[in-house]
Amino acid sequence: MKKFFKVLGTALGIVVLAVVGFVVWVQARGIPSYEKPPTPTMAVAATPERLEMGRSLVLASCTDCHLNKQTNRLSGQQMLDVPQEFGKLYSANITQDKDHGIGNWTDGEVITLLRTGIGRDGRYRIIMPHFVHMSDEDVNSIVAFLRSDHSWVKADPAPTHAQEPSLLVKALANTVMKPTPMPTQPVVAPVATDQLAYGRYLIVGRYQCYDCHSKDFKTNNALEPEKSEGYLGGGNHFLDANGKDIVSRNLTGDPETGIGHWNAGDFSKAVKFGMSPNGPLRAPMPKYSTMSDEDAAAIFAYLQTIPKIKNATPEDQGTVAVK
């Protein structure tokens, strides 16, 4: 018996030491830096098509985090919908200011960040999504827009607030949240007439709906999105405007807890205008107001083909007001 306790004591001691060691290591490392990945050297040409597409993509995928409502510029703000366990995080100033925005970044450096999560100084950017499967054309459109004379991107001298990540975020940034590699091949979107492939592209490439709509950011698989736990079955947690928990919803075809009983019109209204058959949708669900009905229909068609998941989220349990 005595020997048993001795062994147990030693084992516990080792575990405690390992945990303390890990915490010290994570605190010391903070948010890690990486060697700068191979960075494209070509400047992006601004065509009218790219500027229009770029505005639509930035509206859909960047403004919710980067647009400062006071200045109406992409000058950054505190991320209030990030759960407290992550600490206090701030989106960056991505206006054209040379000192505090990205006016001094090359187009290639912006592309590298969007693809990998690694900034021009090598530091890993936290919370900022990685656009791994977005087509080169869409990425170029975003860059062209960031360089345009639109009022959102006009130089704003406000410095980006320093990040105040929690120990959890530091631990995640040193373990599961990793940079993603630069694509080694051109990334080309499927043609819109190939409806299912195109719908999948919109979900995993252009808009990354799967990132919010799968079970948890921590178990999402950026390289192979379909391998994310609970792929598109909802359940990921955010905070709403009042700091209350808000849960992403099940987009699979399960008739009870998913959207199996919806039609393409219901879906389009929910995605474009935030009007779901379950009532008005709240942030952080973006309003994809510039999405075409054809694109919404392609996403809807693709969603019918993925494995159904039974996962009830609050609106299924009657805990969200249904109008």
By CB neighbour count within 10 A (0-12 exposed, 13-18 middle, 19+ buried), where does 224 fall? exposed
Among 50, 170, 200, 249, binds ligand HEC (CB under 6 A): 249
Distance CA 202, CA 199 (A): 5
Of the two residues 181 and 260, which places its CB atom closer to ligand HEC in the complex? 260
By CB under 6 A, tell whether 102 contacts ligand HEC: yes
CB of 311 to ligand HEC, least distance (A): 11
Candidates 127-135, 175-183, 188-196, 215-223; binding stretch for ligand HEC (CB under 6 A): 127-135
First-to-last C-alpha distance (Å) of the chain: 65
At which residue do the structure tokens 């819109």 appear?
192
Coil vs helix vs strand at 107: helix
Q: How many residues bind to ligand HEC according to rule CB under 6 A?
A: 48
By CB under 6 A, tell whether 299 contacts ligand HEC: yes
Q: How would DSSP label each residue in 104-159?
A: TS-HHHHHHHHHHSB-TTSBBPSSPPP-SSS-HHHHHHHHHHHTS--GGGS---PP
Of the two residues 4 and 317, which places its CB atom closer to ligand HEC in the complex? 317
Of the two residues 224 and 240, which places its CB atom closer to ligand HEC in the complex? 240
Contact call for residues 316 and 257 (beta carbons, < 8 A): yes
By CB under 6 A, tell whether 53 contacts ligand HEC: no
Binding mask 56-95 for ligand HEC (x = CB under 6 A): --x--xx-xxx------------x---------x-xx-x-
- In Å, how far from its chain's centre is CA 216? 12
List the interface residues with ligand HEC, window 218-247 (CB under 6 A): 238, 246
Give the pair of three-digit tokens for residue 266: 């219901």
Choose among 260, 263, 265, 274: nearest CA to 293.
Answer: 265
By CB under 6 A, tell whether 147 contacts ligand HEC: no
Distance CA 287, CA 165 (A): 28
Residues forming the site for ligand HEC (CB under 6 A): 58, 61-62, 64-66, 79, 89, 91-92, 94, 102, 110, 113, 119, 125-129, 142, 160, 163, 207-209, 212-213, 238, 246, 248-249, 251, 259, 267, 270-271, 276, 278, 281-282, 284-286, 288, 299, 315, 320
